[in-house]
Amino acid sequence: MIVHLRADTVSVVVDARGLPSIVHWGAPLPDLSEEDLLALADEAVSPIPNNAPDVPIPIGLLPSARQGYPGRPGLRGHRAGGDWLPSLTRTSVARSASGAVIDTEGGGLAVRSTVELAPSGVLRVRHEIRNDGSHAYTLDGVETALPVPAQASELMDFHGRWIREKHPQRRHFDLGSWVRESRRGRTGHDATPAILAGTSGFGFRTGEVWAVHVAWSGNHVTYAERVHEGRGVLGGGELLTSGEVALAPGETHTSPWLYAAYSGAGIDGITSAFHQWLRARPSHPVRPRPVVLNTWEAVYFDHDLTRLKGLADVAARIGVERFVLDDGWFSHRRDDTAGLGDWYVDDGVWPDGLAPLISHVTGLGMEFGIWVEPEMVNPDSDLFRAHPDWVLAPGDGTLPPTSRNQQVLDLANRAAYAYLLDRLDELLRDNDVRFVKWDHNRDIIGARAHEQTLAAYRLLDELRTRHPGVEIESCSSGGGRTDLEILARTDRVWASDCNDALERQTIQRWTALLLPLELIGAHVGPPRSHTTGRTQDLSFRVATALFGHFGIEWDIASASPAEQEALAEAAAFYKSVRGLLHTGTLVRGDLADPSATLTGVVSDAEALYCYAQLTSSAATVPPPVRLPGLDPARRYAVTPVTPGGAPRTQQVPAPTTGTRVLSGRVLSEVGIRPPVLMPEQAWLVHLIMTG
């Protein structure tokens, strides 16, 4: 059977006559006849070169050396060293409106491969492996492979670290393998959110692009491979350590989803597909994303009721809608060396519990949120002293090295899991908490991560079932856990522990590769950055934070009256445009000058663009900037806006601040002149369709 899956922007053709393989993933095809589909599939069969196996070698969804494939195998495992290369045969194909389920079996294994294509153009694939043999089967890896054509000659992936996540890097898609592994037990700051393959020089708005993402919050691998005869694949899956998954007879393992997208119109097409897919989920947050104030960079561990009430008073006056109490509220937690695991309100700091603060916050009309880090424990804690056996460890009587003064709690330990569920359930049951900042501040090293990841999912799922009105943020020392599977059970991510607006421009730009802006926490930090020491104007910090889920992380009670007034204007402006920012189409410009960036969000009726000057330009005067995504047949009123204050410029006379009416064709093909900005300044323009 040949299965043709179609969306507006992509076609996927699956050849399921034998072991399943994809013979077309790319530009949309018409509704082909069965005869045409058979011809397409036959045309995809590779010829047989000299000094090669005497039969064609397919690239299956699970490539196999049994079929002669010389590259990275998709299914790896064994039974005590034997049955390491099972011979699978297709047994059935079930077609659905959105995909197909293909069953294969052999060598005591049954494999069910599910292929789904969403209307947005997002493709996803996963596999269920069942041990039908009479002895245990050790599973070493299940990795999906998707073919990409020869014109995909360039790769893009990402590197990063704490406070500098998601920076792109490019290379030729040469012969051999480019493998990105995360062995940190979480998604990882240095993990690539996706590997992209594209035509030479592909940009935000140009070129064909193919992308894959592994939706898994533990160890994982993503790779690009071109074998010697020239065929290329993108693939990935969970990265299993030796012996981590051993299937007893009758047991089943389900691989993480591998998500993929194709675009014929540059990176923005990939982004659009994923944003549409995420927004179509039943669990996607739909109410307006509230203005947040987080207390971390305001008070740190100095939890004083009077001070926090004063901070809440200023926050409410400015227009904050959610007040989040960060680290430091629980027992023994006066710094980051002690207390993790002791999830009881510290009665020395909070003699009457959290109720006085919560009542004050909610009385001012704001929601109350709180920080937790359930998966970790400090050695200096009552919990660790009582239950050192609850620490996730190699099993040889030793402990992994501490990191950030922490060890990891073994959530697969039923007693540890029950303790955490009880403590968190009580916290949410007994307090009017509407938001949880769920942190995860260290790598899982020196221990296995598979069961830990599944247990973390179960804990989050159970708490959401018990407290469906509570939103949860995935924070992992910033952007260390931002994959699509953690987002199946959380409502936003904290993109980075860095609130420096210059760093955030890049971090948020590429976090938004997959995630729509309403899922990306973005806060206005203090004038001097806590993490980098840079000092930046409020206007630049505000302009940067607008392109996300807007918030503030700053001791605004100590801010000047002028700064507080500017923040109030910024919060009001955000509220006026968040409907656009959080439902519109994200677009980004391909600028010739690397010192500047252009980001916009466009809807049918309006648009907002940010031209950011990151560093000094080699040119004295910037060229006109083309605004992508507009309807060329419409006219727009274009107005510069200055929430948080006007940017500083290097021009005489001062830049124009009035409204102009221009056609979408002129704006997108000729462009408009930005002002001559100083470094670390941003210029915002708001467009309203007039006809």
Residue by residue, DSSP assigns 559-605 as S-HHHHHHHHHHHHHHHHHHHHHTTSEEEE---S-TTEEEEEEE-SS
The two three-digit tokens of residue 194, written as one number: 């996706």
State how far the Cα of 540 lies from the Cα of 643, in Å rounded to an integer: 10
Q: Known catalytic residue: 335?
A: no
The two three-digit tokens of residue 79, written as one number: 């039974």
Hunting for tokens 């694939």 — which residue is that? 125
Pick left, alpha or beta for residue 545 (phi over 0 → left; psi -120 to 50 → alpha; otherwise beta): alpha
Catalytic member of 15, 439, 443, 483: 439
Catalytic member of 103, 497, 500, 537: 497
Number of continuous H segments (helices) and E segments (strands) in the chain:
12, 35
Burial classification of residue 199, based on how many CB atoms lie within 10 Å of its CB (0-12 exposed, 13-18 middle, 19 or more buried)? middle
Q: Residue 555: how many CA atoms within 13 Å on its side-chain side?
A: 12
Q: Residue 472: how many CA atoms within 13 Å on its side-chain side?
A: 27
Q: Which helix (H) or strand (E) holds 668?
A: helix 664-669
Q: Are strands 137-148 and 232-238 parallel, antiparallel or unpaired?
A: antiparallel
- Contact criterion met (CB below 8 Å) for 668 and 626: yes
Helix axes 355-363, 305-318, angle to 10 degrees: 20
Q: What is the 3-state secondary structure (H, E, C) of 6-60?
A: ECCCCEEEEECCCCCEEEEEECCCCCCCHHHHHHHHHHCCCCCCCCCCCCCCCCE
Q: Known catalytic residue: 631?
A: no
Q: Any idea what DSSP says for residue 536?
A: -
Buried-exposed string 603-622: b where 16+ CB fall within 10 A, e elsewhere: beebbbbbbbbbeebeeeeb
- Residues found in the chain: 691
Q: Residue 639: how many CA atoms within 13 Å on its side-chain side?
A: 11
Active site residues: 439, 497
